[in-house]
Each structure stands twice: as structure tokens, then as C-alpha cells.
Amino acid sequence: MHTATYLAPYRALIGGSTQGIGRAVAQLLAERGCAVTLLARNEERLREAVTALPTPGNAHHNYLVADFTAPEALAATVREYLSKAGVGFDILVNNTGGPPGGPLLSATPADFRAAFEQHLIANHLLAQAVVPGMQAAGFGRIINIVSTSVKVPLPGLGVSNTIRGAVASWAKTLANELGPLGITVNNVLPGATLTQRHTSLIKKKTAQTGQSAEAIEADMLKLIPARRFGLAEEVAAAVAFLASPAAGYINGTSVPVDGGRTGAL
């Protein structure tokens, strides 16, 4: 295992970090020396996850209990933590579960509002909470876990496609504003990745179509040049690089981690 601790000076706040991609990101950043603060709603899972994090540089890890469906309370929790800690976060990884699948015309206004709050508004309020500390330090990384639908909308994910596009535009605008301050803003776009969301989407499609999960996955794999699904750890590797000082001149980008599936440059 590569044990370089090139992120040792930094502190990271990572959303949705008790499972899937968020947990893989937390694990890798901790391996690289980060002091990691996990952010999720299930305290039991948070306790288990934070205990499992490595401490190669004797970093102190922590967690905050908050729900991304309540963005104002989420941001208040982070602001209170920062005021007591007396030190800011250098890295913010915005990550939370994707909106439910389904055709666009079946979506209700409430579906859009809920997704907008959970993704764009939550991201925005967290950025507002952490940017002052980043600005004071002259260094910051905001990395949003979004989706390849930012580049090419995905069938059956109407609400998700719409909201993800809004997040990408928000991130690009923020990157332009924060670039002069030494703060970068980038998006990582996972493709078909073996996580709980992948499993739930397959189950839903199985129920809708009557096809077996194996048949659905076989059809999906035909569209991926790598001919396999991704791993959460592979998405985390992209995040770790974008969080590093080496990525200081990468700003305002959306990076697919999808085995080549996305049909756009």
C-alpha cells in the first residue's frame, strides 16, 4: 500500500462518509495524513466509520451528525463546530445520496425541491461555512461528488440529471470566484460504481422491466469500454489527487471516473 502522507497538514470535511464513495474518500484521505471529519446522519455508523480510519500521522479524526435533507441545520452544525474548534477545514468534499430514479415527467415539484435542497443548497451552505477559513489560509479544495449526467444525461434519472446540472453550474461559477483566493472547486463524476446506489438502481430497474439483475448489468457493461464497474476506491483516488497541492492549477473542471462510458469529451 502506498503510504505517502502528502495531505498531512490538512483537515477535511467529508459528506455522506459512512458508506460507499464518501467512506472510501474518508479512508484514503486519512491514509494520506488528513485529519478527517465525517458528516452524516447516522451516529452509530459514524462512530464505527471514524474508529476504522487510519492515523499514519497521528491525525485526530472526528464526526458530526447532520442530515443533508435539512441544509440550514446541517450548516449550523458545521459552523458551531468551527467556532469551537478554532481552526478551519482545508478540504470540503460535498457528497450525499442521489435523488431517486424515474422518468422526468413522473417527477413532482416536491421531488425537485427536495433534491435541490439536499444537493445544491446543502453544498452552497457548507461552502459558505468553510470558505472563510480557506481564504484566511490561502488554500482550499472544494470537491463535489456529482455524476456523469453532468456531461450526458442518463436515462431514467430525470430529477437527478436536472439537479446535477445545476450543481455543476454552481461549482463552475464558484471556481471562478474563489480561484484568486487559492481555493479550487472541481467535480468528480462517478460512472457505474459498485455502491449501495448501484444496487438500488438495479433492483428498481429489475422491478420495472422484469429483467434479471444479471441481464441489466450485462447491458450496462456493453456501454463501458473498460467492461467492468468502478470501485468506490477508484473515485476516491481522483478526489485525493484534486485535494492535493499538486492539483493547484486544476480548477472548475468535471472529471469523469467511468471507465470511458461517457460519450462526450
The CATH number of residue 45's host domain is 3.40.50.720
In a shared domain, residues 101 and 180:
yes
Instruction: Give 184's strand partners.
Output: 141
- Is there a domain that residue 16 lies in? yes
- Is there a domain that residue 172 lies in? yes
Give CA torsion, residues 10, 96, 116, 93, to 10 deg.
Answer: 10
| Mean pLDDT within 192-220 | 92
In a shared domain, residues 174 and 220:
no
User: Domain containing 148: what range?
Assistant: 11-191+231-256
Residue-wise pLDDT for 233-248, tens only, equals 999 999 999 999 999 9
Over the Cα atoms of the chain, what is R_g? Answer: 18
Pick the closest to residue 188 from 164, 222, 156, 153 (CA basis): 164
In a shared domain, residues 43 and 138:
yes
CA distances from 197 to 85, 136, 157, 225 (A): 34, 37, 12, 21
- Is there a domain that residue 265 lies in? no
The C-alpha cell at 177 is 470566484
Alpha helices, DSSP H only, in the chain? 20-31, 43-51, 71-85, 109-116, 122-137, 158-178, 196-209, 213-222, 232-243
pLDDT of residue 3: 56
pTM: 0.96
| Mean pLDDT within 11-39 | 98
- Is there a domain that residue 31 lies in? yes
pLDDT of residue 2: 47
Question: Element (H or E) spanning 140, and its range?
Answer: strand 140-145
In a shared domain, residues 117 and 153:
yes
Pick the closest to residue 193 from 140, 258, 253, 265 (CA basis): 258
In a shared domain, residues 56 and 107:
yes
- Is there a domain that residue 3 lies in? no
In a shared domain, residues 99 and 211:
no
**Lowest-pLDDT range of 10-19, 93-102, 139-148:** 93-102
- Is there a domain that residue 261 lies in? no
In a shared domain, residues 21 and 46:
yes
Amino acid identity, residue 211? Answer: Q
In a shared domain, residues 59 and 186:
yes
In a shared domain, residues 219 and 243:
no
Q: What is the side-by-side strand order in the sheet with 35-40?
A: 62-65, 35-40, 11-15, 91-94, 140-145, 183-190, 254-257
- Is there a domain that residue 264 lies in? no
- Is there a domain that residue 108 lies in? yes
Pick the closest to residue 245 from 85, 34, 86, 63 (CA basis): 34
Q: What is the count of structural domains for the chain?
A: 2
In a shared domain, residues 116 and 210:
no
In a shared domain, residues 68 and 82:
yes
Which distant-in-sequence residues (6+ apart) come within 8 Å of 86 by Cβ?
A: none
| Mean pLDDT within 91-117 | 96
In a shared domain, residues 43 and 115:
yes
